[in-house]
Structure 1
Amino acid sequence: MVSRVNITENAKKLIDTLKEKYGELMFYQAGGCCEGTQPQCFKKGEYYLRYKDVCIGIIEDCEFWVDKDLFEYWKHAHFELDVIDAIGAGGFSLEVPLGKTFKVNYRIFSPDELELLQPVKFNL
């Protein structure tokens, strides 16, 4: 099976740091105006998912959820979670006080990969 999401080593290190401080985490990527389209990191269960939001995978034992409309637009793309030294548009994410921002690098799946994608989970 082909994963829909993976993680860079820098993002892994930051997640480990955040887990030490906050415990279990989750990610959510919206397509709205306030948080832009950058992924947000929350303590697990502290972000309320909307009906039919989509979990595209698990990274470092953290579910990675995306807005249902964003998923429709990006369902043919692989997400790679990375981190940069900056404060992004959304100030609610747990990494912001550290002067960091999670970001996603995208690439389109090949036709062969599309045939082998891991299934997603919908919030119903």
Structure 2
Amino acid sequence: MTERLDATEDALTLIGELAEKHGDLMFYQAGGCCEGTQPQCFEKGGYFPRMNDAMIGLINGYEFWIDRDLFEYWQFAHFTLDVVDGFGPGGFSLETPLGKTFKVHYRLFSETELADLSSVKRSI
């Protein structure tokens, strides 16, 4: 099964630090203007996905949701969550006070990967 989501070691390290401080987490990547499609990290339940948003996978057991319209655009791409130094556009994400921001690297799936692609969970 081809997974839709992965994370760099740097992202996994930061996620561990955030989980230690805040408990269970969740990620949401919106498709709007203000957050600039920046992935954001919240305490679990700190953000409610909209109807038909897509949960594309788990990172360390934490759900990664993306906006329904953004998913339609990026459904044929693999997401790799990374982290960089700097202040993201939203400022609401848990890593912001640490001077970090999450970032996603995209690549298109190969034909072989597309034939064995994992399904997504939709919010209701």
Give the TM-score, by structure 2 length: 0.99
- Report Cα offsets for 1:45-92 as digits up to 9, x if no partner: 110110000000001111000000000000000000000001010100
TM superposition outliers: structure 1 runs of 4+ over 6 Å: none
RMSD: 0.5
Unpaired runs of 5+ residues, structure 1, are none
Instruction: Look up the equivalent residue of 1:99 and give its one-letter code.
Output: G
Q: Does 1:86 align with 2:86?
A: yes
One-letter code aligned to 1:107: R
Q: Name the SS of the counterpart of 1:50 in structure 2.
A: coil
Alignment match, 1:45: 45
Identity of aligned pairs, percent?
63
User: What's 1:32 paired with?
Assistant: 32
Which runs of 5 or more residues in structure 2 are unaligned?
A: none
Measured in 2, the distance between the counterparts of 1:44 and 1:115 equals 32
1:97 to 2:105 alignment: no
In structure 2, the residue matched to 1:112 is 112
Q: CA deviation at 1:18?
A: 0.1
Q: Distance in 1 between matches of 2:27 and 2:41?
A: 5
Q: How many residues align?
A: 124
Q: Aligned partner of 1:26: which letter?
A: M
Cα distance in 1 for partners of 2:60, 2:85 equals: 21
SS of 2:72's equivalent in the other structure is helix
Structure 2 match to 1:21: 21
| CA distance in 1 between partners of 2:115 and 2:8 (Å) | 24
Secondary structure (helix, strand or coil) at the match of 1:78 reads strand
